[in-house]
Amino acid sequence: MSFLHRHPRLRLAALLSAPLLWLVVAYLGALAVLLVSAFWTVNGFTGEMVRTFSLANFRTILTEQVYRNVTLRSLGVAASVTVICVLLAVPMAFFMAKVARPRSRHWLVIAILTPLWASYLVKAYAWRVLLANGGPIESVFGATPGYGLFATILVLSYLWLPYMILPIYAGLERLPDSLLEASGDLGARAGRTFRSVVLPMLIPSVFAGSIFTFSLSLGDYITVQIVGGKSQLIGNLVYANIGAANNLPFAAAIATVPVLIMVIYLVAVRRSGALEEL
């Protein structure tokens, strides 16, 4: 111990060697192999991987209509889910942070948090039952949207809504009430105060929440299978190419699409200060 105490560098090495071995060698190594294998191909006859550099996979993704359609559809789903979550989360978070009494505020936060601990699969399953033909939605409202793209957007919004509410709530809680009062004293009505004072200060929180809703929706392929009917998103293509088609290089090439989109998105929202809100 005293030997270690006198040699801080050794102490640091002792602390870091195991985690670094795990994260850098095992995880980053795996990611690197995946990235490299996206440039490999699979021999159509033998099913063996051909480990020579080729852009064939990316050429297919860029030129074939079906991949462009699926990418655009996935983007559309992720964007719709994000917009729906913002529209639902802002009024709810505003009520929690500024209208509710401090005592009930505490319980409201718990009420929003608790469903996060319930299994993702269970929640998607619950919606499968709700939306089924002859299910509760049909017997209460007389009709059900059924399984499909709309149901996918609905269920994904349901799943990720708390991830949007919590950062917005945190942002609103930091917003001093005195600012709102000052705006009111200067003659602004509630709507004007909301537009000119609250909203601009909420932007980083909204972007922080959108990183979750957008990225989680973009990579999802389980919910689509449960409530999406025959719809396909990027995740389904990756999954199908690993499983049935046994074409890992092509799956890796498709998987780079959501990663690329997320990197672009992260760089775009970084300027708003959203990353510090996570």
Partner 1 sequence: MTLSGSARWALRLFMAVGLTFIYVPLLLVLVNSFNGDRTFAWPPRDLTTRWWSAAWENEGARQALLTSVQAGLAATAIALVLGTLVAFAVQRFAFFGRDTLSLLIVLPIALPGIVTGIALDSAWRSVMGDLGIGKGLFSVVVGHATFCVVTVYNNVLARLRRTGTNLEDASADLGASGFQTFRYVTFPLIRSALLAGGLLAFALSFDEIIVTTFTAGPGVTTLPIWIFNNLFRPNQAPVVNVVAAVLIVLSVVPVWLAQRLAGPEAGASRT
Identify residues 212-271 at the interface with partner 1 (CB under 8 A): 212, 215-216, 218-222, 226, 235, 238-239, 242, 248, 251-252, 255, 258-259, 262
Q: How far is the CB of 68 from partner 1 (least distance, A)?
A: 19
Q: And the tokens for 14? A: 């002792």
Answer for the pair 164, 213: CB distance below 8 angstroms, yes or no.
Answer: yes
Shortest distance in whole angstroms from residue 13 CB to partner 1: 9
* Distance in angstroms (rounded) separating the CA atoms of residues 211 and 164: 9
Secondary structure of residue 63 in the 3-state scheme? helix
Candidates 27-35, 60-68, 144-152, 199-207: pick the segment binding partner 1 (CB under 8 A).
27-35
Q: How far is the CB of 190 from partner 1 (least distance, A)?
A: 5
Q: Measured from the CB of residue 59, what is the shortest distance to partner 1 in angstroms?
A: 21
Q: Does 16 bind partner 1 (CB under 8 A)?
A: yes
> Could you say which residues in the range 163-222 bind partner 1, by CB under 8 A?
163, 166, 170, 180-181, 183-184, 188, 190, 193-194, 197, 212, 215-216, 218-222
Q: How far apart are CA 199 and CA 172, in angstroms?
A: 10
Asked whether position 150 contacts partner 1 by CB under 8 A, the answer is: no
Site string for partner 1, 33-72 (x = CB under 8 A): xx--x-----------------------------------
| Residue closer to partner 1, measured from CB, 77 or 251 | 251
Residue (of 137, 121, 138) closest to 225 by Cα position: 121
CB 154 within 8 A of CB 126: no
CA 182 to chain centre: 37
Shortest distance, position 239 Cβ to partner 1, whole Å: 7
Nearest-angstrom CA–CA distance, 94 and 31: 40
Task: For residue 221, give both structure tokens.
Answer: 């392929």
Radius of gyration of the chain (CA): 24
Sequence-ordered list of residues with C-beta below 8 angstroms from that of 220, at least 6 positions apart, any chain: 156, 233, 235
Residues of span 83-142 touching partner 1 by CB under 8 A: 88, 91-92, 94-96, 99-100, 106, 108-123, 125-130, 132, 134-136, 139
DSSP state of 96: I
CB 62 to partner 1: min, Å: 20
